[in-house]
Structure formats: structure tokens, C-alpha cells
Structure 1
Amino acid sequence: MNIRFPKPLVPGDLIAITAPSSGVSPALHPRLDLAIAQLQQRGYRVVEGACLRQQRKGSSATPQARAAELMQLLTDPNVAAVMPPWGGELAIELLDLIDFAALAAHPAKWFSGFSDLSTLHLPLTTLSGWATLHGPNLMQLAADTLDSTTAALWEVLATPLGTAITQAPSAAFQRVGADLRADPAAGLVPHEATQWKRLDGMATPMCLQGRLIGGCLDTLPRIAGTRYAKVPQFIAHAGQDGAIVYLENTELKPFDLARALHSLRLHGWFNGVQGILLGRSAAPDANTHYAFSYLDALRSALGDLPCPVLYDLDIGHLSPQMSLVNGALATLDFAGDNSTLVQHLDIASDSEISP
């Protein structure tokens, strides 16, 4: 099957909110309510799932309840998009409970977010053939005013098939976020300058093109090599379009990060790709007790690859972040502050991208 792109969202569409990983505890309900209000102000109808407004032992409900609700919403023809509040820890519990083969027979719809949701994005794309959106979580959309990088999510969700979407580096990013319990309406307060970089240290402009696939490094290496993460097959079937792998790190310290990247390399995730894009790392770097740094980890696993490696991009847990569509054909022009990432929401040009 070809990668299938969802219909663009239009006012009046129904957006379903469920928590397939972590739920929302009562202390954060005011933030959730504001995020839902923002959806409604954009003209969307909203339905809440039963697996949403509670949290116990790291998840919103039992694995069976979460899987059943997610499957029901993904197959409901009245639902145009499923937007979980955020990621979490235990989306992996759902993999054997979701019928990804059955989803391959259903029209694709938007499933958006990041972090632990990558565990579900990957099989939805590589098994079911759905384009999925790695970008801001619903709980990041509650502020009255969004920065342009975060707000690009809405452009992507509403973009017709065949349209090109251009995103650029943010001016600055936020390392420490607000306490959402104390300030439910808090927005982004960037304070560190953004700078996309090449791992080889060069500043020479360059261009990459390929089909996007990737997600969170804290979760994806745990399913690499299983039937739920057919990234090598995705790369092979991309044909002359090529493939670009993007990844972001949440909590992995340098040695753990190196092992995770080496694991993906051993599983063939970087064979034949046009490039690798790495988001800003939110994990602790080297300190007086560590001589092995974040950059050492990248160089250990990726430094001798024949493809370009870019890092510190607007991807992941240090907001803001771009909205990346798994399966989209992307062109990245690297030119310092004038860099751009253009995504084309269209089918493969010369071959099928299939499970």
C-alpha cells in the first residue's frame, strides 16, 4: 500500500481526545479544559474518551481499555482526528492489542503528538500505511497565543493533499517550562537562541530530500527489530524519493543515548538514508562525573556514517518544535538561520512505501 494522508481538517470536524499512554490528573484538568477550548474556538467539535481524565500507575486506564478506545476512535468514520493530551510511559502495552492490519483497510485520519506516542506512530505508518504527525501535544496548545513554530501544527493538519508546507528554525527555545498546575494558561517563554548544526562541524549549506520517518529515542529503540517498527523496509520502499530519519532524546544520558543509537544502527535504521535529523536533547549532558558527552554519543554512533547528520533542530521536548509528518516527502535546505524544511503531502513518486 502507499502511505495515505488524512483529509485536511475543516471547521465542524470532530476531534477525539483519548490518552493511550498517560492520562490527565485532576490538578491538570484546567490546562486540559483550556486546550479543548482552543480546539472549539477554531471551529472543531470535540469528544472526550473515557481514558483521559485520570492517571494511575503511569497510565489513564488498563491496557485493554486504552487499546479498545483508541481502536474505536481510529475506526469511527465520524472522527476526523485523534489528539492525545501527551505521551507518557506505557504506550508499548497497546501494541499487541491494536489491529494495525485492520486499520490498513480504513481511511487514514490524523493521529498527532510526540514522545511516547511515537510508539504508536511507527506501526500506524509502517504497518497501516497512515501518515502520522509528530509535533506539539494537545496540552501544549492551551495558550491564547502560540509561537509560529508551534502554531504551524494547524497549517499541517488543514493542508490539502499535494500542498507544500514550509517551516524554518525558531528564533529561540525554552529549556524549562512553566508549572502548568500553578499557571494553566502558560505559554512558551523562549530564552535560548536556536541554532541548527551539522555533526561534522561544517557550516557549508547543503540540501537533503527524502520521506520522513522517526520519533522519540526513549521509546523507539525498545521496539526496533519487531514487526511494529519496519523502518528498514520503509527506507527500502521509499525508492528514489529517499528517506530521512529524525529522532529526539528526552531522558537518555550520553552513554544510554550512544547505546540506543548504536542499536538502531545495528537494526539497519540508517542504511541508505539521505540524512539524519536530531532534535535538541532534553537529557542531562556530561558533568564533572562524566567525560563522555552528548556530542561524544552522537559521534560514537553516527560520526562515520556516509550521510549528513544535523542536530539541535526544532524537534522534541525543548519547545518549540516543528510538525513533522511521517511519510511526507521533505526537502531540508541547511543554511544556518536561513534554513528551511519543506514537506509535501503526496504519495510516493516511483514506488510503494509498504509494510
Structure 2
Amino acid sequence: MASKFPDFLKPGDEIRIISPAGSIDPSLIDGAKSQLVNWGYRPTEGMFTRTVYGRFAGNEKERYTDLQQALDDPNVKAILCSRGGYGLAQIIDKIDFTRFQENPKWVIGFSDVTILHEALLKTGYTSIHGGMAKQLTELPNNSQPLVLLENILKGNFPTYKVIANPNNRFGKAKGRLIGGNLSVFLGMRSTPFDLPYQDAILFIEDVGEKPYQIDRMMQNLRISGALSQISGLIVGQFSDTEEDPDMNATIYEIIAGAVKDYTYPVCFNFSAGHVDDNYPLLLGANIALDVNRRGSKVSFPSTFWQKTKDLFK
């Protein structure tokens, strides 16, 4: 079953910027706020958004406080996580989503924010796997990731087209989109935030992982039965990694090998992850995946844009 959508944003709506995981350069907070103002919104910050506590943006209590307050505040219409890093696993089980469910709002982020996305899907609401403060600050205003994110917040959903890839497997599927950062996603397995895989379309991406580590994670999904339950797979960008010739396969070939015994469609080279062209995805939405010899198409419900957005054009 698809998750529900929070209300789409209107000019003047408040977007709260918080740092629930790693600490961040304050200039990136300033840049993100400027971009949100350009879009017509009213950015605010959590009390500890700029705090530095070792590698974290504050201690556990401080990060919990900012996240809980942002989720609870009925005036906040969206939450922008400033960055990923590490830290959400320390506080996610302490968060109470009761008031969020009374006043749901969009949550935006990726990487370590995958944990928060999973928790939100458990409450029954869709969230946005997309760019954070660094992207909002450093990308040009007319860059596709920013244009796409701005439009999604208004309720305008894209249809993505991806060029053909030799590792693709043809087919069509529909299902609820789940996933995010592979290593973070795997870290929540067998916890209360683990999501059902049955008939879902799984999206995965990662950064800085060695090929054998990717293989281990994919084998976990295979042996546990998760890969046999999904209806489709979207493979994003696996960046900042070195191939290992002793593995006798590239990272993408390793992923293809892990799903070789199944028949559902597999789309490789989707532009999302730890890359500049980090295209936003609606986690929890029912989507359609069509992979054929010409390439792949990912369609979201109620697509308002008539013109599709072609990746890598």
C-alpha cells in the first residue's frame, strides 16, 4: 500500500533546517536558507542546527530535541536535513511520531537520513530522498536536481528516463518505492524500522564502500529472501569507490549477479546518490518501472509535467 502525501507547500510556508546526524559547515546552512527564500519559503533553524560535538551536530539529546520539535510543530510544513554522515541510529527509536501524524510534513534528505525515511514510511507517510544543504548551496539555481525538488514540493512530479545500460533487465513493475543508502538501510534490518519487501520496488545507492562489502550486503538481501520478494530494483550511483580486480566483477556486475535468479525489471545507472545530479525520489509512493532496450522509465503517480526529464542528456 502506498504511503500518504503530506500537504504540498505554498509560498511563505516554513521549512525547518535541522542537523540530526553529522555536523555541517555553517556557510552551507546560510546557502540553503538563501535558496529556500528564492523558492518563496520561510526557512528556520533548529536550536542546535549549527552545533559541533565531535563528528555530530550536537549530543544525542540536542539532536533528538531538534528533530522532535520540528516533527511536532504544526507550523513547520517541511523539514530539510542539513546533511547525513552518521547519528540518526542513536536517536530514531526515541522519536515520537504521534504529533507528526496529526500534522504531517515533508522530510528531505539522503544518506544517513535513510533511517528517518524508513521510520516515516512506518507511520504511513511519503518522504523525499533528495539533496540537502550542500546541494542547495553549491548547485546552480537552474540545475535539474534543484528544479525537480522545488517542483515536487509544489506537487509536480517528474517522470524519469534513464539511458540503456548493459546490466539492465527488461520488464515492467509497479510497487511501493523503498530504500536509500544501502549500508544504512541494511543497518536497520531486523529492527522495528525494517520495511516489508513484498511487491516493493527497491532503490539502492552507496558511497565509499568496497566491492566485497557491496557483495556482502547484496548477499544478505538475497539469503534473507528480501530480493525474492521485491517487484523491481533501481540501482543508483555507487560513488567514491575503487574497483577490486580480485572480485572478478565490477560493483554493478556484483549487484546484477545477486539478482540474476529473479525475473523482475532492474534499472541501472539511475542518477541518485552521493553525486551532484542527485535526482529526488518519493519514498513510499507507488511507482511504475519500465525497463526495455531503449532504457528505463520511472513514473510517479499523478505526473503533472508533460515533459519528461532525461538523465545524462
TM-score range, shorter chain: 0.7 to 0.9
Note the aligned Cα RMSD (angstroms). Answer: 2.4
Which whole-Å deviations, capped at 9, do the CAs of 1:5-59 have from their partners, x for residues lacking one?
11011111000001000121xxx32232122111112211111112221333221
1:133 to 113, 128, 134: 128
Say whether the 8 Å CA contact 1:199–1:299 is kept in structure 2. yes
Match of 1:197 in 2: 165
Match of 2:310 in 1: none
Q: Does 1:124 align with 2:120?
A: yes
Whether 1:70 aligns to 2:35 is no
Q: CA deviation at 1:129?
A: 1.1
Q: What's the CA shift string for 1:219-271, capped at 9, x where partnerless?
A: 11111111111233xx3xxxxxx421111121221110011122223344333
AA aligned opposite 2:11: P
Which segment is superposed worse, 5-14 or 41-50?
Answer: 41-50
CA contact (8 A) 2:17 2:49 kept: yes
* Residue 211 of structure 1: aligned partner: 176
Quickly say closer, same or farther: Cα 1:75–1:52, change in 2 above 3 A: same
In structure 2, the partner of 1:111 is 107
User: How far has the Cα of 1:104 moved from its partner?
Assistant: 6.4
CA separation in 2, counterparts of 1:231 and 1:69? 29
CA contact (8 A) 2:266 2:291 kept: no
Aligned position for 2:307: none
Q: Among residues 93, 98, 108, which one is paired with 1:96 in the alignment? A: 93
State the match for 1:18 in structure 2.
Answer: 18
Secondary structure of 1:141's aligned partner: helix
Deviation (angstroms), 1:296: 4.2
The aligned residue for residue 185 of structure 1 is: none
**TM-score, with structure 1 as normaliser:** 0.78
Contiguous gaps of at least 5 residues in structure 2: 304-313
8 Å Cα contact 2:210/2:242 also seen in 1: yes
Distance 2:293 2:146 in 1: 20
Could you tell me which residue of structure 2 aligns to residue 301 of structure 1? 258
- 1:38 aligned to which of 35, 40, 49: 35
- Check conservation: 1:95, 1:228, Cα contact below 8 A: no
What is the number of residues matched between the two proteins? 302
- Give unmatched runs, 5+ long, in structure 1: 170-194, 236-241, 347-355
- Distance in 2 separating the partners of 1:113 and 1:3: 18
**Equivalence for 1:314:** 271
Question: CA offset at residue 335 of structure 1?
Answer: 4.8
Return closer, same or farther for 1:150/1:265 CA change in 2, 3 Å cut-off.
farther
Cα 1:11/1:310, change in 2 over 3 Å: same
Distance 1:144 1:67, change over 3 A: same
> Is 1:86 paired with 2:90?
no
Q: Which residue number in structure 2 is paired with residue 180 of structure 1?
A: none
SS in 1 for 2:208: coil
Q: Which moved more, 1:334-343 or 1:135-144?
A: 334-343
Deviation string for 1:284-320 (max 9, x for gaps)?
2424565453134214422222322222111211230
For residue 218 of structure 1, report the CA deviation from its aligned partner. Answer: 2.1
2:149 to 140, 148, 153: 153
Q: 1:55 to 1:336 in 2, by over 3 A?
A: farther
**Paired letter, 1:22:** G
Residue 241 of structure 2 is aligned with which of 277, 284, 292? 284
Contact 1:23 1:59 survives alignment (8 Å): yes
- Amino acid of the residue matched to residue 261 of structure 1? M
What amino acid sits opposite 1:294 in the alignment?
Answer: I
Q: Do residues 61 (structure 1) and 58 (structure 2) align?
A: yes
Q: Matched residues in 2 for 1:144 and 1:285: separation?
A: 29
What SS does the aligned partner of 1:313 have? coil
Change (3 A) 1:295 1:327: closer
- 1-structure distance, mates of 2:184, 2:120: 15
Q: What code does the residue aligned with 2:94 have? A: L
Percent of residue pairs bearing the same amino acid type:
27
Alpha-carbon deviation of 1:103? 5.0
Q: Does the Cα contact within 8 Å between 1:104 and 1:130 map onto a contact in 2?
A: no
TM-score (norm 2): 0.87
Q: What residue number does 1:7 align with? A: 7
Secondary structure of 2:239's counterpart equals coil
CA contact (8 A) 1:253 1:284 kept: yes
Q: 1:267 to 1:74 in 2, by over 3 A?
A: farther
Cα offset, 1:164, TM superposition: 5.0
